[in-house]
Amino acid sequence: MSPRTAVLLAAFAAAAVLTASAFAVTAGSSVRGNPARGKALFVRPGVFCASCHTLKAARSTGRDGPNLDRSKPSYARIVAAITKGSSPTKRWPTGMPAYSGHAGAYGELTKARIQDLAAFIYTATHS
Beta strands in 15-114 (DSSP E): 54-55, 60-61
> pLDDT of 68-112, one tens digit each?
999 999 999 999 999 999 999 999 898 998 888 655 445 678 899
CA distance 28 to 112: 21
C-beta of residue 11 within 8 angstroms of C-beta of residue 66: no
Using CA atoms of 11, 17, 18, 22 in order, give the dihedral in degrees to the nearest 10: 140
HSE-CB of 102 using CA atoms within 13 angstroms: 10
C-alpha pair distances (Å), 83 with each of 14, 28, 51, 62, 101: 9, 23, 18, 20, 8
How many whole angstroms separate alpha carbon 25 and alpha carbon 93?
29
Among 118, 120, 44, which Cα is nearest to 81's? 118
pLDDT digits (tens, 9 = 90+) for 18-54: 344 333 333 435 799 999 999 999 998 877 799 999 9
Q: Is 102 exposed, middle or buried (0-12, 13-18, 19+ CB in 10 A)?
A: exposed
pTM of the shown model = 0.72
Residue type, 67: N
Higher-pLDDT residue of 109, 126:
126
**Structural domains of the chain, ranges and CATH numbers in brackets:** 3-125 (1.10.760.10)
